[in-house]
Amino acid sequence: MIVKSYTGDYEADFYSDFSFFEELKEKKNKFFIVDQKVFSLYREQLSALIGDDLCYILEAVEENKNVNMALEIIEQMVEMHSKRNTLLVAIGGGIIQDVSAFIANVLYRGISWVLIPTTLLAQTDSCIGSKSSLNFKQYKNLMGYFYPPTQIYINTKFIHTLEQKDYFSGLGEIMKCAIMDGFESFKETNSNMEGLLVRDEDKLLKEITKALNFKKRVIEIDEFDKEYRNIMNFGHTFGHALESTSNYAIPHGQGVSFGMMLANRISYERGYISQDMLEELNGAIEKIVMQELLKAEYFSSDTYLKVLKKDKKFTGKLHTCILFDGDGVKRHSDITDEEIMDSIKKFFKFGDAR
Ligand SMILES: NC(=O)c1ccc[n+]([C@@H]2O[C@H](COP(=O)([O-])OP(=O)(O)OC[C@H]3O[C@@H](n4cnc5c(N)ncnc54)[C@H](O)[C@@H]3O)[C@@H](O)[C@H]2O)c1
C-alpha cells in the first residue's frame, strides 16, 4: 500500500514472517528503538537483525511517552555518533512509534525512520497518518507534529503474543473504521468476528488492510487534521475521557470501543439510527469490550463529565462528538451533559447510573 504525504509517498507492506529483515540488514547507520516486551519475546529474531547496531530498549508505558524520554534517547544517539544519515528503526506499538516519530522529526531537523508495528492497534491504525504525540504532565498527546516513516513493515505474526486487552484494543480500531464506512461495511467486518476473536491470520490481514485503506482515504484528503480527518475521532471523545478517569488502566482502543457504544446510544436516542441497528452495532462491539476492566467509579458524573469538559472542543456548555447515522459519521457540537449521563445510565448501569 502506498500512502501520499507532504513528505512524499511512503509504503506499508504486509508480511507473515520476518523475511523483510534481510532488506533492513542492508541499510547502513541504523539506530533501533525497541519495545522492551517485544525485545524479550522476539530476542532471537531481533538479535539477528540488530547485530552490533545501536539499540535503545524502551518500556512501553504512557509515563515514558514524554519529551524527557525523547531527550534521553536523543542524548544517547548523539553520544553514539548518530548523524543526519542515521536511519531510526522503531519496533513496537503506538507508544514506541510516538516517541520514535518525535525524535526522528526533531533530531537534525529530520532524519529518516522506518516502523515495524507490533501491536494490532499500530498495524491497523496508527502506523499511517504521520502523527507523533507526546504526553505533557497530565495532558495526553499534547505535543508533536506530522512526520511519517519512509517505510512500514507489517508482520501479522506479532499479533499472536499480544495480551488480550491489547489485542481487543486493536479490534476496536478495526471496528471503528468498518462502522464509519457505513452499515454494510460494518456487517461485512462483523461476519468475520468469529475468526477475529481467535486471531485467525487470514481474517486479520483482510481487516487490517480494509481499515488501513479507509484511513488512507481520509488522511490523503486531510493529513494535517484541519477538518475532515476529525471524523477519525469516532468514539474518541468519550474514549479519551474513560482512559483518563481510569488513569490509563483502560487501553486506548478499549476506550474507543466504549466511546463508540456510548455515541451509538446517543445516535439512537436522537433518532439517527433504529433500535435494531443500535443492537446490532453495540452487540458486536460489546464482544471486544472487556467488561471486567470497566469500574463504576470511572463513570460518576463528577469525574467523567469533569474530564470531558477539559476537551479542547468543549464550548462551555455543549460537547462535540462524532455520531453514526447509518450511512457514515458526522460531527455534532450540541451534545448535552444530560444526554451523556442518561445514555450511560440506560445502557451501562454504572456510577451515578446505578
Ligand atoms: N500516532 C498515532 O497516530 C496514534 C494513533 C493511535 C494511538 N496512538 C498512541 O498509541 C499508544 C497505544 O499504542 P498500542 O495500543 O499500539 O500499544 P502500546 O505501545 O501501548 O503497547 C501496549 C502493550 O503491548 C506490548 N506489546 C507490543 N507489541 C507486542 C507484541 N507483539 N507482543 C506482546 N506484547 C506486545 C507493549 O509492551 C505494551 O505492554 C497510545 O499512547 C496512543 O495515544 C498513537
Please give the pLDDT value at position 119: 98
* CA 32 – ligand 1 centroid, Å: 17
Please give the pLDDT value at position 349: 59
The total number of residues written for the chain in this structure: 354
Q: What tens digit of pLDDT does each residue of 58-70 get? A: 999 999 999 999 9
Q: pLDDT grade, residue 346 (50/70/90)?
A: confident
Instruction: With H, G, I as helix, E, B as strand and everything else as coil, classify residue 135.
Output: strand
**Is ligand 1 within 6 A of the CB of residue 119?**
yes
Residue 267 has pLDDT above 60, yes or no: yes
Environment class of 287 (CB within 10 Å of its CB; exposed 0-12, middle 13-18, buried 19+): middle
Grid coordinates representing 277 are 441497528
Least confident piece of the model among 139-153, 204-218, 219-233, 304-318: 304-318
Which residues have CB under 8 Å from 329's CB, separation 6+?
Answer: 179, 180, 231, 234, 322, 323
Cα 9 → chain centroid: 21
Least confident piece of the model among 152-161, 263-272, 301-310: 301-310
Residue 352 has pLDDT above 70, yes or no: no
Q: pLDDT grade, residue 354 (50/70/90)?
A: very low
pLDDT-above-70 percentage for the chain = 98
The CA-to-CA distance between both ends of the chain, in Å, stands at: 48
Long-range contacts of 143-146 (CB under 8 A, 24+ apart): 143/67, 143/102, 144/98, 144/101, 144/102, 145/102, 145/105, 146/6, 146/223, 146/224
Q: Compute the distance between CA of residue 210 and CA of residue 172 in angstroms, rounded to an integer.
A: 14
Query: Which of 37, 113, 208 should be mutated for ligand 1, with most atoms under 8 A from CB?
Result: 37
Radius of gyration of the chain (CA): 20
* CA 125 – ligand 1 centroid, Å: 11
Name residue, grid cell 541499510: 27
* CA 335 – ligand 1 centroid, Å: 30
Q: What is the pTM of this model?
A: 0.93
Please give the pLDDT value at position 317: 87
12 residue type, one letter: A
Q: What is the mean pLDDT of residues 139-150?
A: 92
Eight-class DSSP state of 146: B
Q: Which ligand 1 atom is the nearest neighbour of the CA of 62?
A: 41
Please give the pLDDT value at position 97: 98
Atom 39 of ligand 1, nearest CA residue? 60
CA distances to 197, 210, 232 from 180, rounded to whole Å, are 21, 12, 8
Atom 4 of ligand 1, nearest CA residue? 126
Please give the pLDDT value at position 348: 65
Cα 87 → chain centroid: 24
Q: Compute the distance between CA of residue 19 and CA of residue 2 in angstroms, rounded to an integer.
A: 20
Residue 207 has pLDDT above 80, yes or no: yes
CA distances to 63, 89, 198, 324 from 348, rounded to whole Å, are 30, 42, 26, 19
**Is ligand 1 within 6 A of the CB of residue 169?**
yes
Q: Compute the distance between CA of residue 283 and CA of residue 169 in angstroms, rounded to an integer.
A: 17
144: region left, alpha or beta (phi > 0 left; psi from -120 to 50 alpha) = left
| Nearest C-alpha neighbor of 42 from the set 208, 202, 159, 152 | 159
**Is ligand 1 within 6 A of the CB of residue 192?**
no
Please give the pLDDT value at position 351: 44
Q: Compute the distance between CA of residue 203 and CA of residue 149 in angstroms, rounded to an integer.
A: 26
Name residue, grid cell 522476539: 42
152 residue type, one letter: I
pLDDT-above-90 percentage for the chain = 82
